[in-house]
Structure 1
Amino acid sequence: MTNKDQIGIDQQQLVEAWQRTLPTTIKEGDRATVQADEADPKAIRITIEAAGHTMYSFDFKVTYVDSREVRTELVDAERDDRSIDERGAIPQQLVQDYTRHIHECAQALHGLTHA
């Protein structure tokens, strides 16, 4: 990775920017929390709780590949605080939607992350 492809912001500033921006890209009523990934300074952890009575919650690891691109990895899917098989139709659709919203947020933050 060359210097110009590095993220131009420190991890704590990145977390704060994601906390401000992600709620504007996900569905109204869904809740998102963003934390630093303590094991990886180029990554953040995102938990999204689906709105309504579904009680679905998804944990993602979002890693910056470079200043423009993120890799999104589903870490855990839960319903009623119990891990579930995320391959079912409803969880799979939600994971796809949230992955898209995470990438939209990364695009919205490009001005901050681009060195």
Structure 2
Amino acid sequence: MKKDELQIDQRELVEAWQRTLPITMNESDSADVIADGADPKALRVHIRTAGHQAYSFDFKVEYVDSREVRVELVDVEKDGRSVDERTDQIQQLIQDYTRHLHECAQALQQLTHA
């Protein structure tokens, strides 16, 4: 086992993310965090934008080591249908949410970095 590998139980990690992510995100947006069933070092994050836009974003957040996460966009939907994520507006939202996810991981370093 690498010295800097993630040492925390996935269930604890999910609970910590559920507590912390709303603090790092826009107050009006909402998010769900669940364990990635296929990868014990990864989480699935579903973010819903506030207001009339009705966008939702699915991300995979994978711990590369105890401090660093890799954030991968899985899907973007509007009103429950997949949309083209290459538009400027959606790209901006993806960048914002990716930053929020990294901020959440950073805020949890005292928990994840053994």
Task: Sort the TM-score into its range (normalised by shorter chain).
Answer: over 0.9
Q: Which residue of 2 aligns with 1:66?
A: 65
Task: Point out the more displaced range, 101-110 or 5-14.
Answer: 5-14
**One-letter code aligned to 2:51:** G
Which residue of the partner structure matches residue 30 of structure 2?
31
Q: Distance in 1 between matches of 2:90 and 2:78?
A: 9
Corresponding residue of 1:91: 90
Gaps of 5+ in 1: none
Q: How many pairs does the alignment contain? A: 114
Q: Percent sequence identity over matched residues?
A: 69
- TM-score, length of structure 2 as denominator length: 0.98
SS of 2:50 mapped into structure 1: coil
Counterpart of 2:102, as a letter, is H
2:48 corresponding residue in structure 1: 49
Output the CA distance in 1 between the equivalents of 2:85 and 2:7.
34
* Distance in 1 of aligned mates of 2:80 and 2:7: 36
Q: Which residue of 2 aligns with 1:100?
A: 99
2:19, 2:52 → 1: CA distance? 25
Letter of the structure 1 residue corresponding to residue 12 of structure 2: Q
Gaps of 5+ in 2: none
**Separation in 2 of the partners of 1:30 and 1:37?**
22
Q: CA–CA distance in 2 between the matches of 1:80 and 1:94?
A: 16
SS at match of 1:99: helix
Give the superposition deviation at 1:35.
0.1
Cross-structure match for 1:10? 9
Normalised by the length of structure 1, the TM-score is: 0.97
| Two-structure CA RMSD over aligned residues (Å) | 0.8
